[in-house]
Amino acid sequence: MAHTRTIVFTPSVVEREAVTYTSATGFDNTGLAAYFNRASRPAYRFTIRMDALTKSQAESLSALHAVLMGGQSFFWDGGPWGDIQNMSLVGEGDSQRRQFFLGNRNVGASSVAVQTLRGAVSSAWATSSANGWPYSVTAIAGVVTFANSTNTIPASGDDVMSRWGCTYRCHFEPGGIAIRNEHRGVYSVELKLTETAFSG
């Protein structure tokens, strides 16, 4: 059975672009349209540049691209985008909603910390399974689910904040690699990756 590779790059520069997929639905014959998100969070597109490589290193990357092309996915640690270090907003409570999507898929369940913020009062919840989490994490989907009890479901108006680490499941884009001979014996490589939620 084939397995998904994990690839490590040492980039000089990483650009990340968020791609939000939407659908438009028309209303009657008024000419108005409403847009709906087709995914629970953005997908990401990356441009990775590596400078000052040897010919052997550039050829290895070229061979990897030739093997995987755009048809096989792999995991990448995301470089500087592989973790959210500060508490960031992931949703707003309404006293009923229990599930909140983090900003990424494929999160490290042990890296997730969650807290709520109500006005100027912050309440941090347990982050150790020994203390009994009031929430669980579905790592592949990047979803936090709060326990179904009145003292753990975020109240109406509560900001749900989190930080986490993640990996990205990516494909090479069709024109996904450019190799340049910058100087004698010195090469640079530019890779283009697109995140995917699908296996394969």
**pLDDT tens digits, one per residue of 126-144:** 443 434 568 889 999 999 9
Q: What is the mean pLDDT of residues 35-51?
A: 83
pLDDT reading at 62 higher than 70: yes
Give the CA diameter of the chain: 67
pTM for this predicted structure = 0.80
Q: What is the pLDDT of residues 2-14, one digit of tens each?
A: 577 888 888 899 9
pLDDT reading at 118 higher than 90: no
| Length of the chain counted residue by residue | 200
Q: How sure is the predictor about 20, in pLDDT bands with cuts at 50, 70 and 90?
A: confident
Q: Are 162 and 143 in contact (CB under 8 A)?
A: no
Domain ranges of the chain: 5-79+167-195, 83-165
pLDDT at residue 127 in the model: 42
Percent of the chain residues topping a pLDDT of 90: 50
Decide if domain 5-79+167-195 falls under CATH 2.40.30.
Answer: yes
pLDDT reading at 115 higher than 60: yes
pLDDT reading at 60 higher than 70: yes
Give the alpha-carbon dihedral of 200, 80, 114, 89, to 10 degrees.
-100
Q: How sure is the predictor about 98, in pLDDT bands with cuts at 50, 70 and 90?
A: very high
Q: How sure is the predictor about 154, in pLDDT bands with cuts at 50, 70 and 90?
A: confident
pLDDT at residue 89 in the model: 93
**Higher pLDDT residue, 119 or 147?**
147
